A = this chain, B = another copy of it.
Amino acid sequence: MQIELYYWPDIQGRGEFIRLALEAAGVDYIDVARGEDGMTQLLDTLQSTAILHPPFAPPFIRTGGAVIAQVATILQALGPRLQLVPPDEAGRLWVHQCQLTIADLVVEVHDTHHPLGNGQYYEDQKPEALRRSAEFRNERLPKFLHYFESILERNPDGDAFLVGAALTYADLSMFQMLAGLGHAFPKAMARVGAEVPRLLALQQRVAHVPNVARYLQSERRLDFNNDDIWRQYPELDD
C-alpha cells in the first residue's frame, strides 16, 4: 500500500516527524504537496467534505483508503508496518507516551516566537516573544531535556535508544527536536546540552542510521527556515 504524506512543502515542521519515520524505514512514499499541483491537492483534501475522518490540519497521510492526521496518531498507526515500535503492547504504549511529550515540547518551542498566536507576525509580538523564550530557555528546556535524559538512563536495555534496544519513531522525533533546538537556540543548547550527554549521543546515533544519513544529505531534506517551528532569532537565545 502506497503512503501519501500531505504537509506544507516549504518547511520541515511537524511533517518532518513523519518524513523521518518513512525515510528511516526505507518505504516508498509520495510527499504530495511537493509534487506538481501539490498544494492544490493538499488544500482540496483538507477542505473535502467527503472524508469520513477529516484532518484538522496537516500533516496527514492517506493509505489504503484511510486518512489519518495528528503526528502521534500517524506514527502509532504506521509504527508496526515501518518496524519502528517494540514488539510488546506495553513498549508500544511507552513509545507513544514519549512521542506525546515530544509533541508538548513542540508547542512550547513554537510559542517562543508566537506567544500571542499565529494571527500576528513575529515582529508584532517580539517583546512578548522575548519574555516567553526567556522562561523557555531557563525553565522549560532544561526540564524537558533532563526528563528525556532520565528516560535513557533508566532504560533497562541500555541508553542507546529511548525505548528497548532498537530504533523507534520516538528516537527519530527526539533527533529532530534536538536538531531543531540546536538550530534555534545554539547558545542555550550549548549550555543545557552539556547536562544531557546521553541525549546528544542519541542524536548522533540516529543521524548515522544509514537510511537517515542518506536522507539528511538528500535534496528531500529541507533546511530549517524562519517559517518553521524552530526559528533562528538570535535575540530569543541566551
**A interface with B by C-beta (< 8 Å):** 49, 51-54, 56, 66, 68-70, 72-73, 76-77, 90, 93-94, 96-97, 100-101, 104, 107, 111, 115-117, 119-120, 125, 128, 131-132, 135-136, 139-140, 144, 147, 150-151, 154, 156
Contact = CB atoms under 8 A, between A and B. Distances in A.
Nearest to A112: B117
B150 A54 contact: yes
A229 to B, nearest CB: 14
A119 B139 CA distance: 9
A144 B54 CA distance: 12
A156 B51 CA distance: 11
A104 B110 CA distance: 13
Contact of A135 (B90, B117, B154): B117
Contacts of A116: 115, 128, 131-132, 135
B68 A93 contact: yes
Contacts of A119: 135, 139
A73 B53 contact: no
Residue of A56, A66, A94, A144 ringed by the most chain B CB atoms within 10 A: A56
Contact of A150 (B49, B69, B120): B49
A9 B121 CA distance: 39
